[in-house]
Amino acid sequence: MTLSTGLQNYLDDLALTHESELSLDFVSALQNKHIAKYSFNSLAVVLGEDLPLDTENLSHKIVSQGLGGYCFEHNKLTYELLSSLGYDVQLKLARVLYNQEKKAPRTHRVSLVKLKGETYLVDTGFGAYGPSLPLSLELDKEQSIGGETYRIISLSEQKQLDTLEYDVQIFKGGEFFTLYRFDLADYSDADCQLSHFFSHKYPEAGFVNNLVVSLKNDEVIIALKNHELLTRFTDETGQRTELTEQVNSADALHNILTESFGLALDQVITTHLFERFLVPKLGH
């Protein structure tokens, strides 16, 4: 099976090889390595850059340049690789809720992979609280991944997989916290283009108005939102611990973006980002 140049670069960059047999091990390694290497961020959005969603441009931006991106970029690249390798993968859209009952637009893209009679949710583009391994689409099953506990619940009393909507939840602060809600409707790239346009062009969209960057592996999560830097890790007792600090200078922001997140950014850009997104929050 011959992959496009961009998809082959993606596979090679994660040091993955794919055998002829489709396997959950490969899908798991792909998701885990992707999330650990490529940052989730709104940088291109807040800098007003073009965000094409074709595979070659996505591979160049995320893989070759190491600039990361957000869900419509990360999950599109993952979807296209899995599809090209012969996996039964379906595109789904979700409403980001963050534990609020609201009529949120479908601004999050995920994938469902069907493998050997089972269905898995694969998401390489949700950021700090997203799962770093596939979630089995088994209702109410608590699933431990990278020090976190997740579950998928149905909003229907029927408790069947053909019901309308499902919540993806993480155990946080002593209770389950809803991250996003998805359904099993048939979606296409055309639907994604609409949601993608809203997410990076609508004046009131979250990514347009916030500097967001995160990176996570099985040991630690680092997440920046404007002036606050969160570090979440498992301590010596096995408990999840969160530390939050303020980013108080352009130099500090530059060091975090370049060293902690590995983003190749000029000082003038980080100074602009500091003045635009951090200064108003800090009250300077």
* Helix extents (H) in 22-152: 24-37, 43-46, 55-58, 71-84
Residue 283 has pLDDT above 90, yes or no: no
Mean pLDDT value across residues 135-152: 95
Give tens-digit pLDDT for 26-77.
Answer: 999 999 999 999 999 999 999 999 999 999 999 999 999 999 999 999 999 9
Distance CA 280, CA 183 (A): 38
Percentage of the chain surpassing pLDDT 70?
Answer: 96
Decide which of 213 and 155 is more confident: 213
**8 Å CB contact between 228 and 252:** no
3-class DSSP state of 30: helix
CA distances from 39 to 171, 185, 199 (A): 23, 29, 18
Burial 226-244 (b: 16+ CB within 10 A, else e): bbebeebeeeeeeeeeeee
Mean pLDDT value across residues 205-231: 96
**8 Å CB contact between 41 and 143:** no
Give tens-digit pLDDT for 96-143.
Answer: 999 998 889 999 999 999 999 999 999 999 999 999 999 999 999 999
Residue 12 has pLDDT above 60, yes or no: yes
Residue 146 has pLDDT above 90, yes or no: no
Mean pLDDT value across residues 69-90: 98
Give tens-digit pLDDT for 175-206.
Answer: 999 999 999 999 999 999 999 999 999 999 99
Q: Which domains does the chain have, with CATH numbers?
A: 5-193 (3.30.2140.20), 211-282 (3.30.2140.10)
